[in-house]
C-alpha cells in the first residue's frame, strides 16, 4: 500500500498571523467576514463571528493520533485496518458526512467502489424537504434575494438558535441593492419559544407574533391558504390562533411586495413533519399566482448542503443513495442509515465528521470507522479512529452556503496541526480496497 500523504498545513512561516474574510464552517450560514488572529497554534476570532464561531475556532489543539482498537497506530496502519473492515462488509454505510465539497467527492468515490450507502447525519430533515420537492415542487429564494428584496418574512422556527448571525447578516443589512439603506420589513413569528430581542434592528419595522404549537404550524398555514382563496374558515380559532389574527396575517401577505416563509426541516421534530413543509410550499405557490412569494429552507449545517449537492451532481440523485447494485439508486426510506442500523442490513459504518467534534456517530455494535476532528466526541471507542484536518482551519477547501447558491472558499489558517487531510485518507482507503 502506498503511504498516505498527510496533506496537512506546513509549519507556519511566522509565529503569528492575521487573517481577514475568513469563512466560518460552524453553521450553514458560512459567514465569510471573520477576522482571525493566529498565535502559534492558537486561533482567536477578533472581529465578527458569533459565540458558536468563537467556540469552534478557539478550541485548543490537542495531540491526537490514529487508533485501531483503541491503540495508537500509524496513519497507514489505520487506513489498512479501515480498508479491511470495508472490504469484508456486505453493505457498508457512509454517514455523518460533515465535510466540504472535495471531502464529499471523496466519500462518493469510496462508497461507489465499496458498493455502500451514503446518508448525511441530518438526512431525515433533508428527506422531509425532498419528499415535498419531488411530489409537489417548490418555489424557493436565496439569502441574497431576502437581504435585498424581502419585505415580509414569516418564520416557522427560531432561526437564531441555528444560525446566530442570520438577522445581523441578512435582515439588518445596512446596505441593500434596491433601496437607500435597509429594506423596511415586517417579521412574523409563527410557533413557540422565540427570543424577539435580537430580531429588532435596522429595517425591522414591525414584529408580529402568532403563538401556536410547532406541530400545528401546518394548520395555521392551511388556514391562511383558505382565507387567501376567499373561502370561509370552519372555526373561530385554528390551532389556538383567533380568526382575526389569521385575517390580519392574510392581509399582510397580500400587501407584501416580496414575502418569504422560512423553515428549518430538522426543527420540525414531530410525526409527518413533511406535511407542514408541504403546506408551506403549496401556499407559496398559490400566492405566486398574483404576487411574488417564496420559501427558504435553512438547514445546511455540518456540510449538509455541500453533501446534498455533490450527491446530486455525482450520482444524479439526492442523498440516501446506495451503490450496492453497482449503479446509484435513491430511496429516502430504504437508504436511511438509522433504519439500516436498526434492521441490521448494514454491517460496517464509516462516520465522517471533519468540521465539528459534535457530530457523534450513532450507537451501534457493528464495526465502526470514525474519521473525525482531533477532539471528536465518541460515545464508544470505534474500531478505527483517524483524526483529520478541519477544512477552513487546517486545510483549504470549498463549502456550499445553506441556500445552495453560493460556494465559499475555506482557508488554511496555518496552525500546522499535523493532521491528515480527510480527502487523502478517504482516497487511500479507496486505493487499499
Q: How far is the CB of 68 from ligand SF4 (least distance, A)?
A: 34
Smaller CB separation from ligand SF4, 49 or 123: 49
Distance separating alpha carbons of residues 361 and 29, to the nearest angstrom: 24
Which strand (E) or helix (H) includes residue 420? none
Choose which of 38, 120, 165, 185 interacts with ligand SF4 (CB under 6 A): 165
Q: How far is the CB of 138 from ligand SF4 (least distance, A)?
A: 24
Smaller CB separation from ligand SF4, 56 or 191: 56
Give the number of residues in contact with ligand SF4, rule: CB under 6 A: 13
Smaller CB separation from ligand SF4, 25 or 369: 25
Question: Which parts of 390-409 interact with ligand SF4 (CB under 6 A)?
Answer: none
Which strand (E) or helix (H) includes residue 125? helix 123-135
Choose which of 105, 164, 278, 411 interacts with ligand SF4 (CB under 6 A): 164
Distance separating alpha carbons of residues 35 and 31, to the nearest angstrom: 11
Distance separating alpha carbons of residues 395 and 5, to the nearest angstrom: 13
8 Å CB contact between 22 and 410: no
136 DSSP 8-state letter: T
Question: Which parts of 13-32 interact with ligand SF4 (CB under 6 A)?
Answer: 24, 26-27, 29-31
Segment near ligand SF4 (CB under 6 A); pick from 143-151, 163-171, 195-203, 374-382: 163-171
Q: How far is the CB of 390 from ligand SF4 (least distance, A)?
A: 13
Q: How far is the CB of 60 from ligand SF4 (least distance, A)?
A: 19
Task: Render the burial of 355-372: b for 16+ CB within 10 Å, e for the rest.
Answer: bbbbbbbbebebbbbbbb
Q: How far is the CB of 406 from ligand SF4 (least distance, A)?
A: 13
Segment near ligand SF4 (CB under 6 A); pick from 157-165, 314-322, 368-376, 401-409: 157-165
Q: At a CB cut-off of 8 Å and minimum separation 6, what does 197 contact? A: none
8 Å CB contact between 86 and 114: yes
Which positions from 40 to 69 touch ligand SF4 by CB under 6 A, shown as an x/- string? Answer: ---------xx-xx----------------
Closest to 417 measured CA to CA, from 11, 73, 72: 11
Smaller CB separation from ligand SF4, 31 or 199: 31
Q: At a CB cut-off of 8 Å and minimum separation 6, what does 294 contact? A: 139, 140, 141, 145, 258, 259, 260, 261, 284
Q: How far is the CB of 244 from ligand SF4 (least distance, A)?
A: 36
Distance separating alpha carbons of residues 216 and 276, to the nearest angstrom: 8
Residues binding ligand SF4 (CB under 6 A): 24, 26-27, 29-31, 49-50, 52-53, 163-165
Amino acid at each position: 500500500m502506498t503511504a498516505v500523504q498527510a496533506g496537512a498545513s506546513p509549519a507556519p512561516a511566522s509565529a503569528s498571523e492575521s487573517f481577514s474574510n475568513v469563512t466560518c464552517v460552524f453553521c450553514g450560514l458560512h459567514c465569510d467576514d471573520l477576522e482571525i488572529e493566529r498565535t502559534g497554534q492558537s486561533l482567536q476570532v477578533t472581529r465578527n463571528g458569533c459565540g458558536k464561531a468563537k467556540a469552534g475556532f478557539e478550541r485548543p489543539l490537542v495531540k491526537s493520533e490514529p487508533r485501531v482498537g483503541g491503540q495508537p497506530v500509524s496513519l497507514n496502519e489505520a487506513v489498512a485496518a479501515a480498508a479491511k473492515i470495508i472490504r469484508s462488509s456486505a453493505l457498508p454505510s457512509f454517514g455523518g458526512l460533515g465535510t466540504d465539497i472535495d471531502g464529499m467527492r471523496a466519500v462518493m468515490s469510496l462508497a461507489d467502489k465499496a458498493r455502500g450507502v451514503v446518508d448525511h447525519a441530518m438526512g431525515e430533515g433533508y428527506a422531509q424537504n425532498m419528499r415535498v420537492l419531488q411530489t409537489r415542487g417548490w418555489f424557493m429564494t436565496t439569502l441574497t434575494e431576502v437581504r435585498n428584496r424581502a419585505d415580509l418574512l414569516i418564520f416557522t422556527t427560531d432561526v437564531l438558535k441555528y444560525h446566530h448571525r442570520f438577522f445581523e447578516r441578512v435582515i439588518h443589512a445596512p446596505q441593500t441593492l434596491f433601496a437607500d439603506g435597509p429594506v423596511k420589513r415586517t417579521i412574523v413569528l409563527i410557533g413557540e419559544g422565540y427570543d424577539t430581542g435580537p430580531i429588532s434592528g435596522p429595517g425591522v419595522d414591525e414584529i408580529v407574533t402568532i403563538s401556536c404549537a410547532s406541530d400545528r404550524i401546518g394548520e395555521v398555514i392551511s388556514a391562511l391558504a383558505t382565507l387567501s382563496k376567499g373561502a370561509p374558515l370552519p372555526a373561530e380559532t385554528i390551532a389556538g390562533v383567533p380568526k382575526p389574527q389569521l385575517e390580519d396575517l392574510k392581509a399582510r401577505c397580500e400587501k407584501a411586495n416580496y414575502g418569504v416563509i422560512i423553515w428549518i426541516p430538522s426543527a420540525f421534530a414531530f410525526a409527518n413533519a413533511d406535511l407542514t413543509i408541504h403546506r408551506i410550499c403549496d401556499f407559496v405557490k398559490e400566492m405566486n399566482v398574483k404576487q411574488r412569494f417564496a420559501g427558504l429552507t435553512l438547514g445546511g449545517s455540518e456540510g449538509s448542503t455541500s453533501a446534498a449537492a455533490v450527491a446530486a451532481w455525482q450520482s444524479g440523485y439526492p442523498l440516501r443513495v446506495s451503490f450496492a447494485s453497482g449503479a446509484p439508486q435513491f430511496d429516502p426510506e430504504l437508504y436511511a442509515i438509522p433504519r439500516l442500523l436498526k434492521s441490521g442490513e448494514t454491517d460496517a459504518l464509516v462516520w465522517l465528521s471533519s468540521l465539528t467534534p459534535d457530530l457523534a456517530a450513532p450507537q451501534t455494535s457493528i464495526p465502526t470507522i470514525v474519521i473525525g476532528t482531533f477532539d471528536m466526541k465518541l460515545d464508544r471507542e470505534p474500531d478505527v479512529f483517524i483524526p483529520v484536518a478541519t477544512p477552513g482551519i487546517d486545510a483549504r477547501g470549498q463549502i456550499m452556503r445553506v441556500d445552495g447558491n453560493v460556494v465559499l472558499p475555506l482557508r488554511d489558517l496555518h496552525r500546522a496541526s499535523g493532521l491528515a487531510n480527510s480527502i487523502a485518507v478517504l482516497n487511500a482507503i479507496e486505493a487499499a480496497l
